[in-house]
Every structure is written in C-alpha cells, then in structure tokens.
Structure 1
Amino acid sequence: MPAFSLDPSQNDWCTELRALAADRFRPLAEKGEPGRVNRPLVAALGETGLLGRLFSAPAEPLERDGTGTGGALGLCLMRESLAYACTEAETALALQGLGAHPVHAYGTAAQRERWLSEAAAGRAIAAFALSEPGAGSDAAALSLAADRDGPDGWRLSGEKCWISNAPEADFYTVFARTTRGAGSRGVTAFLVPADREGLTGTALDMLSPHPIGALAFDGVRVGPEDVIGEVDRGFRVAMTTLNRFRPSVGAFAVGMASAALDASIAHTARRDAFGGTLADLQSVAHRVAEMATRTEAARLMVYAAASAYDHEGPRAPGIARRAAMAKLLATETAQYVVDAAVQLHGARALQRGHLLEHLYREVRAPRVYEGASEVQRGIIAKELYA
C-alpha cells in the first residue's frame, strides 16, 4: 500500500477512534488527577480492545491485520486519532505499549503469560525504565549496576529517572549493566515487578500531565527468569522498542497539531476583526496555510516510516533513520503549529482549561522523550555518512 494513502477502512477506523476518545475516554480523563496513573482510563482502553492490539500481532516484524490497522502503522493511526480528541488516552495507551513491548517481543512464555494479558486488559500498569540521572540521551552510558549474586542471579543497585508511569506501575522493563566497560554490549533487560524487595520510587512534579517518577534500586534481586531476551543483549531490546515507537510519537504530535489546526480554522473563520473575520486577513490566512502544510508533511513522513517498519522489519536498512526523521519532523512541527494556534487565538488560549492551553503543555515533552530532537538528528546523520 502506498505510504501516502489510507484506504476507506483505515479512514473509517480513525473516525471511530476519534469519536470513542471524545465520548468515552475524555470524561474519564477529566476525572483523573494530573501526575497520577488514571487506572479507570487504562482499564477502558483495555475493555475496548485497543491495548490488546498492541500485543496481538507478531512482534518482529509487525504485520498488518485484515483491516489494515495492525502493526506500526496501526499504532500510529491509534495514537494520532486518540491524541486529536483525548491526549490522556493516547499517552496511557502509548506508555502501556512502550513498557510491555519488550516482554511481547523478547520475553519468555512465562513472562508473557503472567504480564501481557494483564497489561492488555488494563489491569497491570507497565513502564519502560531506561533513563538515569546521568544517562538520558546517551542510553549506552547507563550505570544501574547488575552485580552477580550467586551462580544464576543479580542484585540491581542504582537509580532510574524520568520514568513515565513511575512510581505507580505494576511492573518495569529495567535496563541494567551486567558487564562493566562494555558500553552498549553489556546491558541486560529485566522484568521487575513493582513489589520486588528493595525497589522504591518517588513522583516527580513535571510540566507533562502524565505521571513521571524516579526509581531507586537497593540490591533488588533478579534471576534468570527475569531476563528479557539475552544477557548483555538488552541494548538491542531497548533500541528496537524505541524504533518501533518513535514514528508513533510523531503520530501523537500530528494528532495534537491537527486539533490545534482545526481549532484555528474554526476560530479565525468566525472571529470578527477589522471589518471582517480574522481569516480575511492575508497574514492570518497564510499562517493557517503554513500550519496545514507542515502538519500534512509530518503526517506523511510518519505514515511512511511506519509502513516501512511493517513491510521491511525493524532491522532493515534505513528503518532507524526513517523513524528518527518522522519523530523529529512531527514533534518540531507540532510545537510550531500549537504555538501559532495560541497566537491566533490570543489571550483566551492561555486560560486554564482551554484546548490550546492544554496542548501547549502537552506538546513540549515529545521533543525530549524517546530521544531528543538533537539525538534524532544524530541518528539521521550517522546513517547518511555510514
């Protein structure tokens, strides 16, 4: 299927998702507490089957389902559609996917049986614990130590920081250093339940409305049954997960940009000013045209990156570059579009509770998490000069 074209079933599905987000998820989101996991909202995502879609397809490569709404492209369509009407629902879905995808793609049968069904149903909250106080953008520099404890176990000691869903998650995909001095080759992924002795967490007061926290590991015991994938091969688990989700971060951004664009079109078309409407002013109309053009360009790049992932697999040449380009362009575009929308609306857009006030707070974080814009440019440049 051409990357620039969605078929009727996909367009219909996106329309259904927008309506579902507005009618069912938005009321639940409004009852939630900022900075806390909204468990009723996550449960609703599970009850509607949306979380199950994250884990129903083969993990590598991800294939489309019969309606053309599976795989990486399906995830992008979900995130874009949900973000348009309810960013909280979008983020809750994405965090479940990010935290549990390593178990889906690399976990043992026992790990999948214990945790995936619970995550898909929205009963267990997942989290992806990679970043540390001294290792954010440079993920290979992480220092959470996994020291040998007997012939078949380890003790985790150190900290994780900026972890979405922490400290309220029920289980964590944790990346720790099992071989010192080995860079990315000495990292192992572990599945760590939240009630494991020695694991504590604190919430961080962040600009982003969704929960973010820090984790402390004080000799947390993990065994071979907790390893996700292979020992010392956890960096691959982390990077393939991020490559899987980076285009869909772009889709989240496109959804927010689309909402801001539509709000701007409606506002400028009806707002009286200077003997006509705002839309009659060439400067305003041209600004809205620029917003629309950038949003559509970002959308097409996101779809292209996701389609390539689905058809070629996560380790095909150029997949990382495409994912980085999609995230970079879409998140930078969304920042521009939302900021322009605030400017066109004026002071009303800064009032607490206004759609654009909400989007203005939401749109900043995606330029940082899952690899800041500067990191994406580095990935792109590295592949161009390889």
Structure 2
Amino acid sequence: MTAFSLDTGQIAWCAELRTLAAEHLRPLADKGEPGHVNRPLVAGLGRLGLLSRLFTSGALDLCLMRESLAQVSTEAETALALQGLGAHPVHAYGTAAQREHWLPRVADGTAVAAFALSEPGAGSDAAALALRADEDGTGGGSGGWRLTGEKCWISNAPAADFYTVFARTAPDAGARGVTAFLVPADRPGLTGTPLDMLSPHPIGALAFDAVPVTVDDVLGEPGQGFRVAMNTLNLFRPSVGAFAVGMAQAALDATLAHTTRRQAFGGPLKDLQTVAHRVAEMALRTEAARLMVYAAAAAYDEGAPDVPRRAAMAKLLATETAQYVVDAAVQLHGARALRRGHLLEHLYREVRAPRIYEGASEVQRTVIAKELYRAAAQCPEAADRPRGAGSA
C-alpha cells in the first residue's frame, strides 16, 4: 500500500522536486522580502508546472510535493500550499465561470489566492464566525449580500488577488449559517493590513465594509460554507503534516552532518551515546510522523470514512514531532544554530506556526476524540461484547 511504501516513481519524483527547488526556487525565495508575497517565486512554481498539479493530484501527491519542497525551501513550499488552500474551494465548488476565470491564473502563478476563514474572535472555533453577510437585493432581489466585519491571520493577505471568504448568512445558526464566497481583492469596501509575525510568510488582516457579493460569487450552496471549509481542511491538514515532516527531515539531515564533523571531548559528537540516542529519537519520530501523514493522505484519496480523524492525527503528530526535532537539532548544534541566517534558526521560526494554523493541536485532539466517540456510538456492542472463553 502506498501509504507505507512509496514506489520507485514516487521516490524519483520527490528527488526531482528537491532538485528543482534547489536550482530554481530557492534562488527566487532568497530574493524575496520576508512577510510579503513573493510573486516571482509564485510565478516560478507556475513555470515548473507545480501549481497546476494542485488541481490534478491527489492528497498523497500533495503531501509528497510539500514534504520535498520543505526540505529545500520552506518559502517555496508555503507559496505552493497557500495557492492550493485558497484556490481549492474554487476548484471543488466553483461554478464554471469562476473556475475558468481564476484557476488558469492560479496555475500559472499570475494570480495569488488566499483562504479567509479565521477572525479575531473565531480562530479555533470556526463555527463562531461573525463576518456578516446581510441581504441587500443586489443579486436580483434575493441573491445579494453585503459583507461586514473582519478576518485575521489570513495568509497572503492583504496582497492576494482573490479570497475564499466564509461569512454568516444566517444569524444564530452555528455552522449551518455560513456561506463561502469568492471575493476578488478589488471589491469596493475591502481593505487589508499586513501583520508582522514570527514566521516569515505573508499574513494579514482584512476589513469588510459592506463589500458587495452576489449569487455569482457563492462557492457551493448558500448555508453550506462550513462544509466547504472543513472538506478543504481535511485535504490540507495531512499536507500541513507533510510540510512539518519536510522541516523535520531538513533538521535531521543537518544534525547528522554536524555531529559527524564536529569534534568535542576527543572525537566526533556522533560517538557520544547521548548524542547518538538523541539523533535516533529524532529519526524515529520523523519516520513515524511521515507514515501517519502518508496513511491519512491515502485514506483521503480512497474516500475512506475516517478521513477527519486520520487528517487530525496526521497534522497533530507531524507538527508536534517537527517542533521536537527542530528544537533537538538546535540543541545539538549549539549557539551557531541561533545565529540569524542559519538553517535551524530559520526552521525554528517556521516550525512553530503549523501547530496553530488550520486547527491548533488542541483542536486536532478534540476532532480525534469526537470521531472516536462517534464511531464507538455506532458500534456499542463492541465495547460490551464478553470475552470468549479462549481469549487471552
């Protein structure tokens, strides 16, 4: 099963991706300004055909792309992932007109996409969205709305060309009262400001001052926006784990090289048992996380019923593992890893955010527990079944 063993073609493709990232993408990333959309880098991803693969590949291929790019250039990985996250709802739920207008531009890197779900008061609790979509009749009497409120912590904001926006069309209806909209950045009343964050990729806040939208801007069906959001996150959560695994592998590779050549206490660091055991633990956790990510992605591609649980487990384990591995790598490198510009200094800043975005680790645990209890309630006899006389 490919969830646990990649075939030779997949292994070769991953190696090719790392080469492309090193030769073509990292130079573009190095020229970018931290915290800002790097349009030459996005265009480079388009020229290499990687952005178009976002709409033709399955979840496992998406994970392989993100993991491979992250090992070489986290900036390239993030630029690819944000295009996919922002545009996937258009690909999966958009009208023919929406798809024809935006997806070719996303694929060639000339349009930057963004996924606008989080709000100042509704981050982890996505069902508590407060951005209002008030009916005003601009869409022919019953299909027009005005968006009023705020979005915050939005990747690629405020420089994106369009946003997948989730707004409340039915007050006091919880998750059932949310609608997804495709909102071009040039709509009147839509403004944004960048936020200066620990991680170097672009993040901003958006303000909606009676921004007009119509039925032609709806993604999916009115009132079904929460489903659009959750189905998108079920696809991308394992690939967030793949991003984390890529960072963990980069930190592990750097540690293997450093502890082999660094001399201390009469020999290379790798000969110290405490160092060797720490490196073994780093490798063990990285591989375990990788396998869980691949398994979750394969489950998504197969249409398995337990995708929400698997996706949450994969993101949780991989992001927590990456935090451990990068921290351990910094410790084994010593002060040099804290110097600005060092690979591990960069990874140390990058690795913290994935434990929060697209559902914090605590949210993933809640999802896992909820799915486990739901499954148990559907098969109550399993818990009450008496042990057989011959059971051990």
Which TM bucket (shorter chain)?
over 0.9
Q: Are 1:334 and 2:325 counterparts?
A: no
Q: Give distance in 2, aligned partners of 1:16 and 1:202.
A: 37
Q: Are 1:6 and 2:6 counterparts?
A: yes
Structure-1 residue corresponding to 2:252: 261
Structure-1 residue corresponding to 2:199: 208
Q: Structure 1, unaligned stretches of length 5 or more?
A: 57-69
Structure-2 residue corresponding to 1:117: 104
Q: Deviations over 1:313-336 (max 9, x none)?
A: xxx421000000000000000000
Structure-2 residue corresponding to 1:39: 39
Residue correspondence of structure 1 range 320-331 to structure 2 within 5 A = 320-331=308-319
Q: Give distance in 2, aligned partners of 1:93 and 1:355.
A: 20
Residue correspondence of structure 1 range 201-280 to structure 2 within 5 A = 201-280=192-271
Q: Deviations over 1:39-65 (max 9, x none)?
A: 000000001000000113xxxxxxxxx
Report the alpha carbon displacement of residue 213 of structure 1 after superposing the two structures with TM.
0.3
Q: Are 1:77 and 2:68 counterparts?
A: no
Structure-2 residue corresponding to 1:104: 91
Q: 1:134 aligns with which of 117, 121, 143?
A: 121
Amino acid at match of 1:86: S
Q: 1:348 aligns with which of 297, 312, 336?
A: 336
Identity of aligned pairs, percent?
80
Q: 1:385 aligns with which of 346, 349, 373?
A: 373
Report the alpha carbon displacement of residue 2 of structure 1 after superposing the two structures with TM.
3.8
Structure-1 residue corresponding to 2:290: 299
Amino acid at match of 2:238: P
Structure-2 residue corresponding to 1:64: none
Report the alpha carbon displacement of residue 379 of structure 1 after superposing the two structures with TM.
0.2
Q: Deviations over 1:169-209 (max 9, x none)?
A: 00000000000010000000000000000000000010110
Output the TM-score relative to the length of structure 2.
0.94
Q: Give distance in 2, aligned partners of 1:379 and 1:136.
A: 15
Q: Structure 2, unaligned stretches of length 5 or more?
A: 375-392
Amino acid at match of 2:335: A
Structure-1 residue corresponding to 2:380: none
Output the TM-score relative to the length of structure 1.
0.95
Amino acid at match of 1:36: H
Q: Give distance in 2, aligned partners of 1:297 and 1:134.
A: 35
Tell me the secondary structure at the aligned position of residue 50 of structure 1.
coil
Amino acid at match of 1:274: F
Q: Deviations over 1:129-162 (max 9, x none)?
A: 0000000000000010000011220000000000
| Alpha-carbon RMSD | 0.6
Amino acid at match of 1:319: V
Residue correspondence of structure 1 range 131-170 to structure 2 within 5 A = 131-150=118-137, 151=141, 152-170=143-161
Q: Give distance in 1, aligned partners of 2:335 and 2:84.
A: 37
Question: Which aligned segments of 4 or more residues in structure 1 are displaced greater than 2 angstroms?
Answer: none
Structure-2 residue corresponding to 1:61: none
Amino acid at match of 1:54: L
Q: Give distance in 2, aligned partners of 1:93 and 1:149.
A: 37
Amino acid at match of 1:372: A
Q: Give distance in 1, aligned partners of 2:367 and 2:263.
A: 47
Amino acid at match of 2:258: H
Q: Give distance in 2, aligned partners of 1:3 and 1:215.
A: 39
Amino acid at match of 1:29: A
Q: Deviations over 1:309-365 (max 9, x none)?
A: 0012xxx42100000000000000000000000000000000111000000000000
Amino acid at match of 1:156: L
Amino acid at match of 2:189: G
Amino acid at match of 1:23: E
Q: Deviations over 1:59-116 (max 9, x none)?
A: xxxxxxxxxxx30000000000000000000000000000000000000000001101
Bigger Rg, which one: 2
Amino acid at match of 1:25: L
Q: Are 1:363 and 2:354 counterparts?
A: no
Report the alpha carbon displacement of residue 122 of structure 1 after superposing the two structures with TM.
0.4
Amino acid at match of 2:12: D
Q: Give distance in 1, aligned partners of 2:250 and 2:181.
A: 38
Structure-2 residue corresponding to 1:67: none
Aligned length: 370
Q: Deviations over 1:356-376 (max 9, x none)?
A: 000000000000000000000
